[in-house]
Structure 1
Amino acid sequence: MIATVWGVAAGAGVIAYQATKLPPIDALTVPKRPPNIAILDENGVMLANRGDTGGAAVRIADLPPYLPKAFIAIEDRRFFSHVGIDPQGMLRALIRNIAGGGMVQGGSTLTQQLAKNLFLTQERTVSRKIQEAILALWLEHKYSKNQILELYLNRVYFGSGAYGVEAAAEKYFGHGARNVTVPEAAILAGLVKAPTRLAPNRNPSGAAERACQVVEAMRQEGFVTDAMAALALAHPAKTVRDQNASAVNYAADFVMDALDDTIGAIDEDIAVSTTLDGGLQALAEAALADALDRKGAAFGVGQGALVALAPDGAIKALVGGRNYAESQFDRAASAKRQPGSAFKPFVYLAALEAGLNPDSVREDAPINVKGWQPENYAHEYFGPVSLTKALSLSLNTVAVRLGLEVGPKAIVRVAHRLGIASDLSANPSIALGTSEVTPLEIVAAYAAFANSGIGVQPQIISRVKTASGKLLYQRKGARNGRVIDPNYVAMMNTMMQETLLTGTARKASVPGWQAAGKTGTSQEFRDAWFIGYTSHLVAGVWLGNDDNSPTKKASGGNLPVEIWSRFMRSAHNGVPPQPLPGGFWHGFGPGGVPVAENNGWPSLPGLFGAPPASQVRQVAAPPAPPPEGWPVQRNDARPGPGGPVPPADIPNAGALGHKQRAQSGMQNFFDALFGG
């Protein structure tokens, strides 16, 4: 009797001593769960989860009943009857540990496991077990059984970086916890014993064997019927491909970067609605990956990127590489590469603003600029050619001559005005795209050609809400106003459409749609580009190597065009065709009035500059240009309903039909060369 009393006293003393090592019970609170960030596409479909947990918190009431019961069956059958610790379970574990000569079984209840996850380290010692028991008693005193079970399901680790049952269900099965089946519930419940060792994506046989034990335990406890158990055993759960390796994570990373600038610190679960289209994102990923898998080695291309925007700047798809698991570097938004001839539209636009037009003629012939002798891709020359032919065939000598006529600084101004944010070197080689840009910024700059001349800012976040529905952020229109006169938009559409009809992008097409664009290939075939657009989408493809090594003659007209065409054709399936809103240029009418028309296409609602159906649009020639540095006032700008609103001026845009110094050609060649 005395020995028993002393034993109890000693035990109480040990418990009291261990309790002193814990924070004061009255000050103890359950640590706040790290916030989850759910990233959704424009239709509310889940694209990715971000945050330390990787999944949103769920309520037991929203789960199928057999899911929490699976954990009770395999981990703690007396959960609803004990007070946080289970003496029977502890005694059974003690006997097995003595028989095994070490710590073989823990004997912890679900409440004790929760206490360990919330407050303690993972060490397996007697001291920690006592502290675990004390905290379990406190949890049982403070919370109901369902609250404890809900906390447990949202906090326990399931391997592969997934914390909580929602994250685990998404990770392993590709859907939320609300939709798990009985065999999937068995997999999840079986994981908590050894989440790393039994992860089904790493050890499918071990996970399946453990799941069978869980199903049998559920049957014994009456949580499932014999028929349900037999069905679950006959049709075990199948895991999905690791979502963290999907190329959608490039877009998710971009969203997270933008989110930090949008709402700042995050202290609760949020849902981020994006402009992304999940279907287009999948099409873009497949188009890029399949082409590189099939032909990447033959062309010496190791990486690529694809960006697609709506003409208003909303990002619809963004793929920053061929394999996210191997490289998380986002080449779409962060890689600066030479655009080559894909930069030439800015050169030609500067020439139009200086007084030229698509029918203006320049000499395609060898040229020497202070020792620099740029050549055409095919090393052949056509003599006098129109600007339309020169751009469609990507004749380098004509682009250089135009650059010298208008001046490199004018080209830089045009590119920056349309949305190029990178630093550009104002030298003669700028005409051939030697200054580096990112795929995202140059595709965004092309959007002005697709929407009748309105500058855009690429946007990916539409709205941010808390899990309770509180609105934290709502995107408002972010445009740069009119950056191209509508007359020049029609001219650029005409010249760049010819690139797809007879020029370097003859293999590119979107059946039923008016499309235009430009190929690009940098020095020594280090970069290959194609950027093209319809009234529905603007998309760009870049291919190359991360170490900037040359490819095996990958050029804009081969593999990039192939990838672009596959993506764009699929992206336009089922979409009613609409014309390019800026129309096309058809020369000068009587009295030198420029004429543009849309070939009988209906007007495009919501975008400024679309002509009425089947009606030729005649635009009166504007007055002579003002002195250098003065803005050109425009009073004819009228936005369509809900469309982009242009500002009052376009900086330093020349007047259409008035010949400025560019028209004098070689007369001012040396002035341009040495004076900028």
Structure 2
Amino acid sequence: MLSTPGFSSELRLTSDDRPTLAASPMARERTAARGGKANAKAGGTKQGGAKASNARGTTSSAAGGRGGGRGSSGGGRRRKRCGTFGRLIYWGFVLGIWAVLGVAGLIAYEASQLPPIQNLAIPERPPTVIIQGTDGKTIATRGEMGGASVPLRALPPYLPQAFVAIEDRRFYSHFGLDPLGLARAMFVNLTTGRLREGGSTLTQQLAKNLFLTQERTISRKIQELILSIWLEAKYSKNQILELYVNRVYFGAGAYGVEAAAQRYFGKSARQITLSEAAMLAGLVKSPSSLAPTRNLEGAQARAGVVLAAMQDAGFISAEMEQAALARPATLATGRGPDSAGYAADWIMEQLKAAIGPIEHDVVVQTTLDPALQLAADKALKDTLAKNGKKYGVEQGAIVLMDTNGGVRALVGGKSYEESQFNRAVTAKRQPGSSFKPFVYLTALERGLTPETIREDAPIKLKGWKPENFSHEYRGPVELKTALALSLNTVAVRLALEVGPDEVIKTAHRLGITSKLEPNASIALGTSEVSVLEMVGAYAPFANGGVGVTPHVIERVRDASGKVIYAYDTPSRGMVMAPPHVAMMNRMLQETLITGTARRADLPGWPAAGKTGTSQDYRDAWFVGYTGRYVAGVWLGNDDSSPTKKAGGSGLPVAIWSEVMRAAHKDQPVVALPGAGNYTPGTVPSGEVPDEPVVTGGPQAPADKKPATLDNWLLDKLFGRG
């Protein structure tokens, strides 16, 4: 190896040769230690020189310390700040990694709670039931979605654009999650101090509607995000948008644009205008509070916001926006009454019994007449609005039926939107004196006649003292008069005479299905029944004695038009002999001529019926009929509280008259069966009563007393002849 004279062949740097700005105390200590070791090896011969050197070094250090003290201190502070910042970066990086791992683990866990991705599929749209009236027009839709699905290409282009503009402006550019929209929503919520925006994309909303519940939790939000990304990967944007508009809720029970368009505008979604499209898009933010059926002004104001968003997004021009604002969307004027909801609910119950589980879309053709449904709804609403407070009446129910049992109108309350409880079908109330025809029919079937005499006098039964409404008594009266004037004492005597059990058998034979209590008070209608039952049980009086089954479904078709069910009138046969039909019609007709229903107004039509008022005026009834229709009206309160003396002869008769006038308009007059063929004072030939015939009345021999119940009982007990 080459060497140069005067230089060592091994070049090394000592700590003294390394440049430094300011040595740290620890570095100085390490240098001093190494210097001490080197001096020890050098031997004692060099101690004097070392001391001199150390002395100079000490002097230099002291001088250096005085001159460079401030500079060394400032450098230490800078290094301290740099060290703190570095540690913050380090730990921030570490925590970030753990946060990512934690989020990833949480996402993995929530994903594990979902079905395997390869097994995921869009749930089948629940079947829709379209309910049509006798005119073929839709009166209601039922099912979870409530309307048919409409392809996106069949809709006006501004309809889906309205949803994109107001709900998800970057729908066509994001991957299911919109970071900008989410950040904006967080900023708005933080600055306003309340939750005003959600930041969910249309895809996220669809994922929630299809697969998840409506609860607001972090878990559900993460699952929503996972599913929205899956939807974006599997389906095109237009497919996602089509699914969305056909599944979203629009309020008032309408799911999907078709159901909403029919519900609010009375037309298909294919035909709606720009202003109507804007209103529909605006509803999804708050469908319950913005539904135009309850908040039209709010829905119109929200539609204006949507139109502005559409113009800002470039979907419509400023001129189109102004034109739409000038003609805001309104509810369809020809929209059916909300009371059709009561009938639709009952139809759904009947439908399950008719065709079983509903697995596909079906169209139900019914016996309901939309015009008569509207007339019945109006009659009840107007009467309660005008006189309800005066008489302390809050609710009512109406059933209108043809003589074959087909229900033409059914109103289960004054407002379906306020209460879906069906007072025409489900509610059971005391019918009062409107139940008496079953008592009188039972008596006629045992040989009595309308002219038979019975005593109208006070009666006491084990502490019970039934009284007449007027608290007056007429003494011996004919049955037809007793029924027309609704004399309670005569009805109770008749029930005891024929037996309460026999009265119940008669009522059930004619169509009452509720349980009836076999006691003397059955004559006064103390057992509870429904309006539908009563109307059905009166139908044999109107049709000549044939038992009917109240029904509302005529036929059911599937989506292809194939008939899968048709009502086949189940004949219940004759439930009443024609002679008894004739006698009952004569007696019940008298109720409208001279009796408690004199206010009934049906010009030109022979009609009959019976009023009813329960104890303490809790229920007010009138059930009446012609040879073409039977109608029943009930008024009262849901809690069975007493009304302010609302009796059957008042408001119920007035409502009945209005409904029946609408039903009989332009109809040819039909006579009541047998009403003009009965000869007073005779017993129908061929009839063999179960009990001894009790005759009397004007044809009784002059030397005998009228055959009152009291005299008849004495004859039976003591053999008096």
TM-score, normalising length from structure 2? Answer: 0.73
Kindly indicate whether residue 192 of structure 2 is the aligned counterpart of residue 148 of structure 1. Answer: no
Provide the C-alpha distance between the structure 2 equivalents of 1:534 and 1:194, rounded to a whole number of angstroms. 49
Provide the C-alpha distance between the structure 2 equivalents of 1:208 and 1:440, rounded to a whole number of angstroms. 41
Q: Does the aligned pair in 1 maintain the 2:158–2:274 contact within 8 Å?
A: yes
Kindly indicate whether residue 474 of structure 2 is the aligned counterpart of residue 430 of structure 1. Answer: no
Percentage of matched positions with identical amino acids: 57
> Which sits farther off after the overlay, 537-546 or 463-472?
463-472
**CA offsets 1:627-660 (integer angstroms, 9 cap, x no match):** 89xxxxxxxxxxxxxxxxxxxxxxx9999xxx9x
Give the corresponding residue for 1:189: 281
Provide the C-alpha distance between the structure 2 equivalents of 1:359 and 1:96, rounded to a whole number of angstroms. 84
> Which sits farther off after the overlay, 556-565 or 20-29?
20-29
Provide the C-alpha distance between the structure 2 equivalents of 1:104 and 1:298, rounded to a whole number of angstroms. 45
Provide the C-alpha distance between the structure 2 equivalents of 1:527 and 1:75, rounded to a whole number of angstroms. 51
Aligned ranges for residues 648-663 of structure 1 at < 5 Å? Answer: none
Q: Does the aligned pair in 1 maintain the 2:454–2:708 contact within 8 Å?
A: no
Aligned ranges for residues 9-48 of structure 1 at < 5 Å? Answer: 18=107, 21=112, 23-48=115-140
Provide the C-alpha distance between the structure 1 equivalents of 2:594 and 2:369, rounded to a whole number of angstroms. 32
Distance 1:72 1:533, change over 3 A: same
3-state SS of 1:587 partner: coil
3-state SS of 2:472 partner: coil
* Deviation of 1:626 (Å): 8.5
1:267 to 340, 349, 359: 359
Kindly indicate whether residue 646 of structure 2 is the aligned counterpart of residue 540 of structure 1. Answer: no
3-state SS of 1:481 partner: coil
Provide the C-alpha distance between the structure 1 equivalents of 2:473 and 2:203, rounded to a whole number of angstroms. 81
Provide the C-alpha distance between the structure 2 equivalents of 1:116 and 1:93, rounded to a whole number of angstroms. 17
Paired amino acid for 1:298: K
Give the corresponding residue for 1:498: 590
Distance 1:455 1:29, change over 3 A: same
Q: Does the aligned pair in 2 maintain the 1:115–1:135 contact within 8 Å?
A: yes
Aligned ranges for residues 477-626 of structure 1 at < 5 Å? Answer: 477-587=569-679, 621-622=685-686, 625=688
Distance 1:77 1:527, change over 3 A: closer
Kindly indicate whether residue 444 of structure 2 is the aligned counterpart of residue 352 of structure 1. Answer: yes
Paired amino acid for 1:625: V
Q: Does the aligned pair in 1 maintain the 2:500–2:519 contact within 8 Å?
A: yes
Q: Does the aligned pair in 1 maintain the 2:448–2:694 contact within 8 Å?
A: no
Paired amino acid for 2:545: G
Give the corresponding residue for 1:669: 713
1:338 to 430, 433, 452: 430
* Deviation of 1:515 (Å): 0.6
Distance 1:55 1:654, change over 3 A: farther
Kindly indicate whether residue 340 of structure 2 is the aligned counterpart of residue 248 of structure 1. Answer: yes
* Deviation of 1:411 (Å): 1.8
Provide the C-alpha distance between the structure 2 equivalents of 1:99 and 1:559, rounded to a whole number of angstroms. 56
Kindly indicate whether residue 402 of structure 2 is the aligned counterpart of residue 301 of structure 1. Answer: no
3-state SS of 1:215 partner: helix
Provide the C-alpha distance between the structure 2 equivalents of 1:588 and 1:197, rounded to a whole number of angstroms. 65
3-state SS of 1:584 partner: coil
**CA offsets 1:349-370 (integer angstroms, 9 cap, x no match):** 1122112222333333344445
Paired amino acid for 2:589: Q
Provide the C-alpha distance between the structure 2 equivalents of 1:67 and 1:395, rounded to a whole number of angstroms. 66
**CA offsets 1:299-358 (integer angstroms, 9 cap, x no match):** 232332222111111122222223334443322223322222211111221122112222
Root mean square deviation of aligned Cα: 4.1
* Deviation of 1:521 (Å): 1.8
1:288 to 361, 368, 380: 380
1:167 to 234, 256, 259: 259
Give the corresponding residue for 2:420: 328
Provide the C-alpha distance between the structure 1 equivalents of 2:151 and 2:460, rounded to a whole number of angstroms. 73
**CA offsets 1:577-611 (integer angstroms, 9 cap, x no match):** 2222444333169xx796xxxxxxxxxxxxxxxxx
Give the corresponding residue for 2:491: 399
3-state SS of 2:357 partner: coil
Give the corresponding residue for 1:211: 303
Provide the C-alpha distance between the structure 1 equivalents of 2:141 and 2:197, rounded to a whole number of angstroms. 34
Aligned ranges for residues 80-99 of structure 1 at < 5 Å? Answer: 84=175, 90=179
**CA offsets 1:487-511 (integer angstroms, 9 cap, x no match):** 1111111111111111111110211
Provide the C-alpha distance between the structure 2 equivalents of 1:116 and 1:384, rounded to a whole number of angstroms. 76
Provide the C-alpha distance between the structure 1 equivalents of 2:605 and 2:227, rounded to a whole number of angstroms. 67
Q: Does the aligned pair in 2 maintain the 1:244–1:325 contact within 8 Å?
A: no
3-state SS of 1:586 partner: coil
Distance 1:146 1:425, change over 3 A: same
* Deviation of 1:417 (Å): 1.0
Paired amino acid for 2:649: G
1:117 to 196, 209, 223: 209
**CA offsets 1:370-407 (integer angstroms, 9 cap, x no match):** 55443322233333333222221222233233333333
Give the corresponding residue for 1:475: 567
Q: Does the aligned pair in 2 maintain the 1:491–1:584 contact within 8 Å?
A: no
* Deviation of 1:110 (Å): 4.1
> Which sits farther off after the overlay, 171-180 or 571-580?
171-180
* Deviation of 1:195 (Å): 4.9
Q: Structure 2: 5+ residue runs without aligned partners?
A: 1-95, 701-705
Kindly indicate whether residue 294 of structure 2 is the aligned counterpart of residue 231 of structure 1. Answer: no
Q: Does the aligned pair in 1 maintain the 2:336–2:374 contact within 8 Å?
A: no
Q: Does the aligned pair in 2 maintain the 1:201–1:239 contact within 8 Å?
A: yes
Q: Does the aligned pair in 2 maintain the 1:245–1:324 contact within 8 Å?
A: no
Distance 1:553 1:69, change over 3 A: same
Paired amino acid for 2:567: R
3-state SS of 1:456 partner: coil
Provide the C-alpha distance between the structure 1 equivalents of 2:639 and 2:187, rounded to a whole number of angstroms. 59
* Deviation of 1:415 (Å): 1.2
1:50 to 142, 147, 152: 142
3-state SS of 2:410 partner: strand
Kindly indicate whether residue 277 of structure 2 is the aligned counterpart of residue 277 of structure 1. Answer: no
Paired amino acid for 1:253: D
Alignment size in residue pairs: 607
**CA offsets 1:408-458 (integer angstroms, 9 cap, x no match):** 332222111111122223333322223222222111100010110001111
